[in-house]
Structure 1
Amino acid sequence: MRGTTVSPGTEGPPQEEGALPMHRLEVPMPNVLPFAIGTFDTIGAMSRASFPHRHTFYEIVHVTAGTGAHVVDLARWELRPPHLCVLAPGQVHHWEDARGLDGSVILFTDDFLLDHPGDRELLRGLSGRPPRTLDDHAHSRTTRLVADLDDEYRRGARGFETVLRALLHVLVVRTARLSGPGEPDAAPAPAPASAPVRAHAVAEEFTRLIAGADPELWSVRVCAERIGVTAGYLAEAVKAATGRTPGGLIREARTHEAKRLLARTDLTVRQVAHRTGIADPAYFCRFFRRETGLSPGEFRRGGDIHHDHRIPSIADDGRPA
């Protein structure tokens, strides 16, 4: 399970000072699945953590009650239950001034999607969208579906893994159908029919690799070697499937991670540069200004953020990582 699922009480790798906490998925024994479901209370205090952190797993949150805000990457969303929110591995989030938070939390790793690999693309699309507000019909259907997931998980009857994957697939597809402000009622468009199947699979794996926070993977050559294709073929596949170049997508991923670190940590510009794979802070400043129109200092002071959501350094508050 690629080291993303650990038994309760297992210590994770040491956190680098000043880094955003990285949480792994803990699941009960002996039914070790890269999947867990429960309420905010049964999942535990980390499900409502008030300090910025990221996960190695996907998280679907069905909020049924509460006030406050959910801060995801650089966006702050006021809680207006009921709604659904999808988080992808590597995203930074926390709950701000949350009171009376109630609902269900579904956690699973990439490995759990083996029956429906196409759900990865839907989940990535959903993770970049605002929480989906549910009308009465959608809320009722979602509540029943989440209850079925929870029941299968708790009972652990024969074949429950397959049933869980099927129910999760239904939840992902139905969530993708929900529209947000100014969006049509439709799931994300499939890959163009003209794109060869293998090219689309290569492009999808490339997108998955660079979506994390590992600067070692922000290289066309490294990604091509990891996928097992040439850099030229990778460029052709990504261009055919997305209309963009691998280099452009990598610059976007690097810039987004730099924004996360500048907005959610007290790291220095030099440290942010290092964590985004740029050794020279001066070059990092030029790169950041070219990509955003702002210097790192201007961005941190709020030049591109409507509200400063940073909190005191998480390295100082003694909270668990």
Structure 2
Amino acid sequence: MAYLDFAPIFKLYGGQDEWPASEMVHCETIATRSRLHNWHIRPHRHSGLYQVLSLHSGKATIWLDDRQHQLEGPGMVEVPQAFVHGYDFTSHCSGHVITIAYPLLAHLVQRLDPKASLPDHPAIYGFTDAHSAQMLHEACTQLQAQYASTRPYREAQIEAWLTLLYARLRSSHPRGTRPASPSRGLGHYTRFCELLEGAYSQHHDVAWFADKVGLTPAHLNVVTRTHGGKSPLQLIHERLALEANRCLLYTPLTIAEISGALGFAEPAHFTRFFRQATGESPRDFRRKAAMTTWGQRPAT
């Protein structure tokens, strides 16, 4: 309980705004971030993000909620949203950290098995089979290469490697570290996130979500602030803005068409919402993104 009360919530460890809002996946090596913190990642948690740590070589002490575990590479750690986790690595560990936003994770899960549910508990995977370990390491390495590239079809190739990685992970066998069942509050938060994922474009108010979860709006506010670090309304607006970003970046839809698809009565309402959420108009956001894609700088 103490961890849930006091463990900080990050998008990525060490900062709140490092991840571009339009991206639904982030990939980096273990050394990229851990070296900045003397190979020690203090216990923390993520809201709306699922994370996989692939330890190719080296050793790590792992905190999952209030329990400590040891892992020697090759191995993997799987952490769903809101679970407290931290790491102590030996110097010069090698491996990758892959962080996936839940909308993309849900898409991957449904693609592999329409009846499957999202992961609801952390797990540690230790590999004694060299072939399995090498296949997972290859998938992580290829994913990192595509993530860092600017080549055509980058998003499609990232999704393909993510799908392969998740399929290989699901077919592996956890070593047997499964913490206690999620708390009731975390269960309510997970249910809210599931509802939000299916209804973000319908513009329901907080009271609607609270009723579906089985809480009062005030209690739902406590739950989301405890497990997500933000109010329900903030999370609703963030999810809608995320979808708007992706529509502007990755589809040829006009702004009016995006406005309608996201449930806005008028394009002007959508433009006002987007400007409040991002600080710029949809048209300016799309123009700057297009120039960046082609390696140009926006005119000043």
CA distance 1:98–1:211, change in 2 (3 Å): farther
SS in 2 for 1:116: helix
2:209 alignment partner in structure 1:
226
TM-superposed CA distance for 1:163, in Å, is: 2.1
Structure 2 CA distance, aligned partners of 1:147 and 1:99? 20
Structure 1 CA distance, aligned partners of 2:99 and 2:126? 18
Map 1:297-312; keep pairs closer than 5 Å: none
- With normalisation by structure 1, the TM-score equals 0.48
Structure 2 CA distance, aligned partners of 1:206 and 1:89? 13
1:22 alignment partner in structure 2:
9
Deviations 1:64-90 (A, max 9, x none): 222341111133221221001111111
Contact 1:68 1:99 in 2 (8 A): no
Structure 2 CA distance, aligned partners of 1:23 and 1:47? 18
Contact 1:90 1:211 in 2 (8 A): no
More helix by share: 2
Structure 1 CA distance, aligned partners of 2:206 and 2:123? 26
Code of the residue aligned with 1:78 in structure 2: it is Q
Code of the residue aligned with 1:37 in structure 2: it is C
Code of the residue aligned with 2:123 in structure 1: it is R
TM-superposed CA distance for 1:41, in Å, is: 2.2
Residue 86 (1) aligns with residue 73 (2): no
Contact 2:54 2:97 in 1 (8 A): yes
CA distance 1:116–1:206, change in 2 (3 Å): farther
CA distance 1:39–1:122, change in 2 (3 Å): farther
Structure 1 CA distance, aligned partners of 2:176 and 2:88? 26
Contact 1:86 1:123 in 2 (8 A): no
Map 1:97-112; keep pairs closer than 5 Å: 98-112=90-104
Contact 1:27 1:33 in 2 (8 A): no
CA distance 1:90–1:224, change in 2 (3 Å): same
Deviations 1:42-95 (A, max 9, x none): 245369544211122221111022234111113322122100111111111112
Code of the residue aligned with 2:46 in structure 1: it is H
Contact 1:73 1:93 in 2 (8 A): yes
Code of the residue aligned with 1:40 in structure 2: it is I
**Percent identity (aligned):** 17
- With normalisation by structure 2, the TM-score equals 0.51
Residue 169 (1) aligns with residue 163 (2): yes
Structure 1 CA distance, aligned partners of 2:124 and 2:192? 21
Point out where structure 1 has 5 or more consecutive residues left out of the alignment.
1-17, 184-204, 213-221, 232-245, 247-253, 259-321
1:242 alignment partner in structure 2:
none
Detail structure 1 runs of 4+ shifted over 6 Å in the superposition.
Answer: none
Structure 2 CA distance, aligned partners of 1:155 and 1:135? 31
SS in 1 for 2:76: strand
Point out where structure 2 has 5 or more consecutive residues left out of the alignment.
178-186, 195-204, 216-222, 228-300
Residue 146 (1) aligns with residue 140 (2): yes
Contact 1:27 1:35 in 2 (8 A): no
Structure 1 CA distance, aligned partners of 2:132 and 2:157? 21
Residue 54 (1) aligns with residue 48 (2): no
